[in-house]
Structure 1
Amino acid sequence: MGRLIVLYVAFVFLIGGGFSWLIVDTLGPHDGPAPTQAAAQTLTVAQATAPAPLDLGGLEPSPLPLSLPIACQPGKDCWIVNYVDRDPGKDFRDYACGDMGYDGHKGTDIAIAHAGLLEENVPVLAAASGSVVGVRDGMADVFNRGASRDDLNGKDCGNGVRIDHGGGWATQYCHLKKGSVAVKAGDTVVAGDRLGSVGLSGATQFPHIHITVNKDNAVIDPFAGIDGAGESCGLGKAPLWDKPVLRQLAYYSPFAPNAGFADRVPDAAEAKSGKLGGWAPSADSPALVFWTELYGTRAGDRLEVKLVGPDGEKIADKSETLDRNRNWLYRAIGRKVRGSWAPGTYVGTVKVTRPDGPGQRQFEQSFTTTLR
């Protein structure tokens, strides 16, 4: 295989970390141009390991049963990246006493794998029946970070929809794709109706749907419900999510929504954009690199990334113990070759072992590519 040249890169960015911006703008009844319809398709991303399901024993009925606000399969092609902040101070704490989120976060962020999937028009759905009281459309789908958020003029939610469910209950859906909003103020919707598509509008750095639940204008964590869980961890007495939805919403931390192979070390922006998915490796590629994104890694996690050839030969590997919490992490390993690669299937694997704390004690996922 020639002289070994191991390539290893690390890009670290904490989603929301270091920022204190909030999604606080309330959508007006006619805030944006007329909506347009868009087609809906299904996404599939394989997940190798999954955490234990939530314990639903002894729960009281939800006062506002919520269905999933996005057409996806949690843990397969979508994941909760940020939860509602339940810490009253300057720190963050999610319902599992973990730190999947950031200080002051007022909703639940459900992400798809990468921005390349925006073309699939992943549907955003009404989580409960009600009346549409506000919409916004027409804002561009862009990665907003740093000073660029100052240009939003307070419209951090981006394109979105607000629904009144009666009894003081309301839900707001943010970051929808430009031109996808499919309802207007005054429309009546039922749970599961399509509101639009997942996008990148407003103050967002990854494609997702943000849903905020309000009761009498107060933010309610749908995992906690009105009564919450006090100072203890876990679900509240009456969480808002309908039980079939709760069975799907296990606590994924860590997880790898996006990975692949390349003939060079791609930068993190390329990975997040989804532009690498169409690359077709060949035996003549000058190098073979396995790259992966990870969400929800924590200090003390043992991270192992490796690339193995068709005959079991180790192409490259890297192990490390992470020194701090990271909501988002990027790693790439690989090797150059003199001559050509042996034909066959190459396997890239990412594995995280967690000694303690919320989330999975071990996560492992493998990806394959075939060289001819």
Structure 2
Amino acid sequence: MSVRSILAALSMFPVLAGAASALELRLPADCSLGKDCFLQQFPDMKKGEGAVDPYCGIATYDDHDGVDLRILSMQDIGRGVPVVAAADGVVLRGRDGMEDQLIVTAAERKAITPQACGNGVVMSHADGVETQYCHLRKGSIVVRRGQKLKAGDKIGEIGASGLVQFPHVHLSVRVNGKEIDPVTGNEVGTSCVVDPADAKPLFASSVVAAIKPDQPTVLGFGLSGSVIEYDDLVMKGPPETAKPGDRLKIALTGPDGEAVAENTTEPVDRSKAVYFSYAGKKGSPKPGTYTLDVAVIRKGAPLLSESKTITVE
């Protein structure tokens, strides 16, 4: 192996807080939030042109009506991450059979828009609540119309069917026919909340607690045998969810404690959904255990850091 490169990516999300509603929704996938799945986008709370997320931030896009829970890449679809019922209820309808593929061109987008949800399921719950699960993996849906489910029962698996730019499950919530943001309890397209204490989320407190205030997330990092190209990541998302000025630092330490490679990016010039960098050194690495450190720098100080050891044989 002639080249070793290091990859890291980050994404940012707003704080969620407040009291839960009478009907509590669990996470719509059987995964660990912030570890192997990530909240990428929220509903657009602004009517008309422009987009504002539930807490008056930028983690959304125009006319988005739900919450997107993502996995890292198309390869992760193969792990079979279960999509599960967010609450007790009954299956109303569903669709399967659409391919998992990322939409890139305008022509692809136009063609897929009539079936934007892709493979999906709609459920009915108590108190006039409906939940809809979109973009499921082809052939993964295991429920049928009229079937009763308990919260946490498997519906299918996270995929990339329909109108998608990254693999995820899109959760929409409707109460008496109105689209509701599950993180604040407000009707979609009406208003955001400046103070998180004013929110009354439908999500359970355990989901709310897993969201860290104004905290970036390191989606992943490791070693590669060649220079990383952005398109190889297959981790695209909405614009404007990373803060300007943030920097990403990567350092690789060799088996003898010597610095092998290090890179600190220039400050992010604008808000971004996903940001990545790499550092590398030509030549074959000698066998041994390497330490890889990644840090997000904000205002000159580390905001978060992660580390792992990797053995080269």
Common fold, TM-score beyond 0.5?
Answer: yes
Q: Is 2:306 aligned against 1:365? A: yes
Q: Hey, what does 1:170 align to over in structure 2?
A: 130
**Is the contact between residue 169 and residue 214 of structure 1 (CA under 8 Å) also seen in structure 2?**
yes
Quick one: which of 262, 268, 281 aligns to 1:322?
268
Q: Which amino acid aligns with 1:219?
A: E
1:320 CA drift (Å): 1.1
* CA displacement, residues 47-90 of structure 1 (integer Å, 9 cap, x when unaligned): xxx9998655xx3x513210111001111111101111223353
Residue aligned with 2:206, SS = helix
1:36-185 correspondence to structure 2 within 5 Å: 56=18, 59=19, 61-147=20-106, 148-185=108-145
CA gap of 1:6–1:159, structure 2 versus 1, over 3 A, is closer
Distance 1:370 1:10 in 2: 18
| Alignment CA distance shift 1:105-1:370 (3 Å) | same
TM-score, scaled relative to structure 1: 0.72
Give the Cα separation in 1 of the matches to 2:266 and 2:201: 38
Aligned to 1:262: 224
Aligned residues: 303
For 1:94 and 1:246, locate their aligned partners in 2 and report how far apart those are by CA, in whole Å.
Answer: 16
Question: CA offset at residue 355 of structure 1?
Answer: 3.8
Letter in 2 for 1:190: K
Paired with 1:199 and 1:51, the residues of 2 have a C-alpha distance of: 22
Deviates more, 1:305-314 or 1:114-123: 305-314
1:164-193 residue CA offsets vs partner (Å, 9 max, x unmatched):
224332110001000011112222222111
Give % identity: 34
Distance 2:288 2:15 in 1: 37
Deviations 1:312-352 (A, max 9, x none): 32423233111001102232221102xx4333222333322
Equivalence for 2:296: 352
* Partner residue in 2 for 1:304: 249
Please tell me whether the aligned partners of residues 223 and 235 of structure 1 are also in contact (alpha carbons under 8 angstroms).
Answer: no
1:369 CA displacement: 1.9
Q: Is the 8 A contact 2:249 2:265 kept in 1?
A: yes
Cα pair 1:198 1:207 within 8 Å, conserved: yes
Farther-moved stretch of structure 1 (242-251 vs 211-220): 242-251
- After superposition, residues 274-285 of structure 1 pair within 5 angstroms as none
| Alignment partners' CA distance in 1, 2:7 and 2:121 | 40
Q: Which has the higher contact order (CA 8 A, sep 6+)?
A: 2
Secondary structure at the counterpart of residue 266 of structure 2: strand
Q: C-alpha distance in 2, partners of 1:210/1:200?
A: 10
**Does structure 2 conserve the Cα–Cα contact (< 8 Å) formed by 1:225 and 1:236?**
no
Name which of 234, 237, 259 aligns with 1:272.
234
Please tell me the residue identity of whatever aligns with 1:106: D
Q: TM-score, normalised by structure 2?
A: 0.85
Instruction: Give the direction of change, closer, same or farther, for the CA distance of 1:258–1:188 in structure 2 (3 Å limit).
Output: same
Distance 1:347 1:322 in 2: 26
Secondary structure of the residue aligned to 1:154 is: helix
**What one-letter code is carried by the residue in structure 1 that aligns with 2:252?**
L
- Where structure 1 has 5 or more consecutive residues not aligned to the other structure, the ranges are 16-49, 274-294
The answer for unaligned runs of 5 or more in structure 2 is none
Alignment of 1:149-228 (within 5 A): 149-226=109-186
Secondary structure, aligned partner of 1:258: strand
CA distance in 2 between partners of 1:117 and 1:206 (Å): 11
Give the AA of the match of 2:200. Answer: A
| TM-fit CA distance, 1:96 | 3.5
Over aligned residue pairs, what C-alpha RMSD do you find? 3.3
